Amino acid sequence: MHIHEVKCDQCGQWTHGKNHRCEHCGAILKEEEKKEIAVRKAKGDSIKPRFVKINEEDGWLLVIGKYVIRTGQFIFYALISFLIWITSLTIG
Ligand SMILES: [Zn+2]
């Protein structure tokens, strides 16, 4: 069974990504992290908040739950940016 396999940078062998360390040489796996950073760099928005990821294999209940969380996060960040805007208006 293949569960989320990641290729090791150090030895080039495939290992389970969930361990965060290579089974063969013990190197820390940063494959996922690197991918995310690359994507964020490409988009050019490192300041933008990170929303909950919705995976294709998630069940419908989990997807609904994640959408609720995302909506909550969106409202939260909108509120924060609004407060910053208000503060900058009153101070500056
Ligand atoms: Zn390795």
The H-assigned helical ranges of the chain are 31-43, 60-91
Q: Which residue type does 69 have? A: I
| Chain-centre distance for alpha carbon 59 | 19
pTM: 0.37
Strand partners, 7: 14
Ligand 1 centre and the CA of 16: distance in Å? 11
CA distance 76 to 62: 21
Tokens of 17: 């990504």
Ligand 1 centre and the CA of 32: distance in Å? 15
Ligand 1 centre and the CA of 33: distance in Å? 16
Query: What is the structure's pLDDT at 23?
Result: 82
User: What is the full per-residue pLDDT of the chain (92 aa) written as tens digits?
Assistant: 455 677 888 888 888 766 677 888 888 776 556 666 677 777 765 555 677 787 878 888 998 999 999 999 999 999 999 999 999 988 76
